[in-house]
Each structure stands twice: as structure tokens, then as C-alpha cells.
Structure 1
């Protein structure tokens, strides 16, 4: 198991549980409270204008509610921008679950997501299924759905080089799965993440 997939150390997890994220109204929510009562897939995306992450989230949004309910699981997103972008992000991606903002990056760091780069999938490595656009197409998509569509959010989208990751937490103060991105197209496949969470897709 690589470092990118190791579970957070207990001390790091306990510190993370006490940190706060912001909801769509700007209210602070303690991170640990999000999954205190239920197993939760928590996907840390990159900035809110990132076209690749938007494509990935659209895959997550297609997971049937019935499949999640049957597994006693929910999906939550956390982005590194500011809370004012959350409503826009939900509308853009069609994601129906809770989305939070964590612009300080303290939570990212606490959980080991300390890489920042804008690299694409390395040469010779298979691209993830959600990566359906080439570089220029993705850049244009990011601009079109970001600054052009929502100019008032420029500067609120988050750090363009911050990488995210995919985790499974709860119920309670436990983490059972971790995957930290190494480049901008490195979210774990949505189907594999759902399998790890015990969500059956047909």
C-alpha cells in the first residue's frame, strides 16, 4: 500500500475531526459531525472551477439514491474554495448531497493531502474513466463553466494547484478508506469508491 492510500494516523484523524468546514450558508460545521451517525464517502475536490473534478462529481451524482440508502451510506463533497461557490457547484454538477468549503486547507493537510501541482495523468498511465476531455478541451470547459458562467466567483474558487482525495469515514470517529490524489486526474474511479463503501451498483 502506497502512502497515498494509507489511513490517517489516529492523532491526525482526531485533529481533523475538530476542524471546521463551511456550508452553503456560510455557517461553520465541525468536520467530525458530518459522519458521526452514518458511514460517509467524503470526496475532497480541487478548486470549484476544475473541469476534471466536475466530471468526476457528475459520476458520483449518478449513483442511485436507493443504492446509497441500501448501504446506509451518503456522499459528501468538500472543496478548497470559499462557501459562496457551493450553490453554483451543485447546480453545475447536478450533485444533490451536501457540499462544504474549506479554504484554509487545514483539513486537507491534517488528512495528508499536502500535494500541490497541475500535472495531468503521467505518460503511460491509463487515464481514469471520468477523464473524457483532452487538455485544451478541459481548460476551455473549466473557463466556460467557471469564470465565464460565474464571474462573481473569481477568486473564490480555491487554490488551482491543490490536490484532493477520496475517503470513507464513520459512523463515528473512524476512517476505513483513503486515497490521495497525486495529479489533477487522480480521483479513484467512482465505481471502485462505491465498492469500497459497500454500495452495490447494478
Structure 2
């Protein structure tokens, strides 16, 4: 009986450890001295100092994958669906940063319907200094609440655009991440993506920033009338 009790206790400890591993984020040390003077680019090719983005206001900063990735497109499409009044009420800014050349910013915004701020880090300097992962990994699309396309249609659209543009719009191995920074050098939230579908649930990020939730096609929420 004692052996059986010990075995049950061990199993419960393993379950608890699993729960903790799924809910707790790995420790992350933000070194602002390494990133504040890094440069990103706007659609006109103007250089923007990264530290100026979050200097005066709490800012949601989403680092996404390359612009040909249909998973990233679906995710940014949902970011674009966040009502501007929700952000204004919470005094929060929204910024997306991609690893593509800045000349692709305008087309990517048109394709996704995203109208907030979008910058590019084509040399991936920030991606590297923030410790965002660089690898390729097969994934299941069911792991994300923000992917609306199936694999076949997504790959067909990707292939068609590659043939049309004949140029990559970012490094396919580069993964993304999400941070809530500012004002000044404060970090309120972080999420480092392990793979293409491991992006932070948008409503989780909004909640961390004090922004009311949004109802998405695969993450419906009850809206107050």
C-alpha cells in the first residue's frame, strides 16, 4: 500500500510539474542597453531608433516571421482587427516589426488589412539581440487561435507570391516574439515564439496591457453592449 501511495504521489507531482511548465514563462532578462539604439525602418526607408518607439507610451510590440508566411499574415490580420478605440482607452500603442526589407511594408499592410505601425528589421539585429529563436520546425496549425487558412491553401498562396515577386521577404528560419514595453525602459510582458504557431494569443497580450479583449474568428469573446 505504501509503495502504491508513493507511486500515486509521484504521478501527481509529475502532473503538477507539467501544469507549471505549460503556464509559467521561462525567465527572460531584458537588457535595454543592447536594444535601445538599434534601428528599424518605416515604409519610406526612414531609420527609427527602437528606444523611441516605446519611450513615451506603453507599447505592444509584435515581432513576426517573414512576410510570405501565411501564418504570420493571419496573425497580423487579427492584430489589425483590434479597434483603435480599445487601444486609445488604455493609452496603448501597437507596433509590428518584421524581418523583411522595408519595401515590402506597404504591400503587406494591404494584404493583411493592418493599419497600425509596421517597421522592418531586415538585418534581424533586434531579433538576435532579443534572443528570438532561429530554426525550422514542423508544427500543427491547430495550436494557434489565429490561423484561419489551411496548409494547402496557405502554401499555394505563398508559392504564387514567391513566383510573382521572385524575392524572399525575410529569413524563413527566423521566429518571432511579443513584448510590452514602456513608457521608458519597462517590460510588462514577454513571449518568445518556439515555432511559427507559438505566437502569443492576442487577447492574452491585450489583457496584460489593460486593453479589453477582442472577438476573433477562432477566439470568440462576448462583447459588452
Question: Scaled by the length of structure 2, what TM-score is found?
Answer: 0.79
Hey, what's the Cα distance between the residues in 1 that align with 2:120 and 2:181? 18
Gaps of 5+ in 2: 1-23, 214-222
Once the two structures are superposed, residues 49-100 of structure 1 have per-residue CA deviations (whole angstroms, 9 ceiling, x without a partner) of 1100110111111111110000001110100111011011111111111111
Out of 151, 154, 166, the residue aligned to residue 165 of structure 2 is 151
Q: Tell me the SS of whatever aligns to 2:36.
A: helix
Aligned to 2:56: 37
Q: Which residue is equivalent to 2:42?
A: 23
- The structure 1 residue matched to 2:211, chosen from 185, 199, 202, is 199
Match of 1:8 in 2: 29
1:103 partnered with 2:117? no
| Aligned equivalents of 2:41, 2:112: Cα separation in 1 | 19
Greater radius of gyration (CA) = 2
Query: Does the aligned pair in 2 maintain the 1:38–1:74 contact within 8 Å?
Result: yes
- Map of 1:164 onto structure 2: 176
Q: Does 1:175 align with 2:187?
A: yes
Partner of 1:72: 91
Task: Give, in angstroms, the shift of residue 27 of structure 1.
Answer: 1.1
Q: Is the 8 A contact 1:118 1:160 kept in 2?
A: no
Q: Number of residue pairs matched?
A: 191
> 2: distance between equivalents of 1:119 and 1:74?
33
Q: Which has the higher contact order (CA 8 A, sep 6+)?
A: 1
Residues 141-189 of structure 1: per-residue CA shift (max 9 Å, x gap)? 3234x325x516x13x010111001110111111111101111111111
**Structure 1, unpaired ranges of 5+:** none
Asked whether the 8 Å contact 2:67–2:98 carries over to 1, the reply is yes
Q: In structure 2, do the counterparts of structure 1 residues 161 and 118 end up closer, same or farther at CA, with 3 Å as the change threshold? A: farther
SS of aligned partner of 2:188: strand
Deviation at 1:121, TM superposition (A): 3.3
Q: Which of 69, 79, 87 in structure 2 is aligned with 1:50?
A: 69
Structure 1 residue 115 displacement after superposition: 2.8
CA RMSD of aligned residues (A): 1.7
TM-score, normalising length: structure 1:
0.88
Counterparts of 1:143 and 1:191, CA distance in 2: 31
Tell me how far apart the structure 1 counterparts of residues 137 and 122 of structure 2 sit (CA, whole Å).
Answer: 18
How far apart are the structure 2 equivalents of 1:8 and 1:53?
26
